[in-house]
Amino acid sequence: MSVRARAIGFGVVLSVAGCSDGEAPSSSEPLFRERTALIDHERFELMAEASDPFDDRPSDASQCASSAYLAEDLGGERVFSVRTESCSYATFVQPSLAPVRRGEFLNARLWHFALNAPDAAEAHVVAGIDETGDGLEERIPIPAEGAMIRKSWQAPRDYPAGTPVYFHVHNHGNNEYLLIELSTGSTDPSAQ
């Protein structure tokens, strides 16, 4: 993966004791805390081509229709949904809602419905924090059955509140991708 193509996010916000003004928690605070959302599903904005940090934009990519993406409820959870019939390539961004300390677990969840395309293809999805940071990145063969994609990893460095969080979708065919969670604070990555 190129340095430009690392990142993205999702969430629900909880308060974090001892964190103010976007600063990372002090070293005297416990490293692990309650699961804390890094995103607000309503706040994602479509990035302009000139600002997009990902390097896989096809030359024939068109601007996404505003009706192709939205925050919605699905199965009792808030999600950010991208429908690719009129949005085959997009990167969305928002500032992270909470600071992250180096070593804390980051957690990402993404769902896609059954994936179809006229010809065999590959989808590329990314969810993470900071364009140079680690995150969930998957290349999914199309066609594919619907699936949940999960990843937990430890933050490689501190990220202050307000660090860009990205959700990137590059797809072939008429499909749907839903960002469910990008959070921090879990002490047990298997408990998702």
From first to last of its 192 residues, the chain has per-residue pLDDT tens of 333 333 333 332 222 233 334 444 444 455 557 889 999 999 999 998 888 888 888 777 778 999 999 999 998 999 999 999 989 999 999 999 999 999 999 999 999 999 998 888 999 999 999 876 678 999 999 999 999 999 999 999 999 999 999 999 999 889 999 999 999 986 554 544
Q: Are strands 36-37 and 164-170 parallel, antiparallel or unpaired?
A: unpaired
Indicate the SS3 state at residue 95: strand
How many CA atoms, within 13 angstroms, populate the side-chain half-sphere of residue 81? 16
pLDDT at 34: 83
Domain 3-16+24-184 fold is Jelly Rolls (2.60.120)
Query: Which is nearest to 180 in space by CA: 121, 127, 103, 101?
Result: 127
Spatial strand order in the sheet of 45-46: 45-46, 89-95, 164-170, 121-129, 135-142
Where residue 143 falls (left for φ over 0; alpha for ψ -120 to 50; beta otherwise) is beta
Which pLDDT belongs to residue 32?
A: 59
Helix (H, G, I), strand (E, B) or coil at 114: coil
Q: What pLDDT is recorded for position 43?
A: 98
Q: How far apart are CA 58 and CA 88, in angstroms?
A: 10
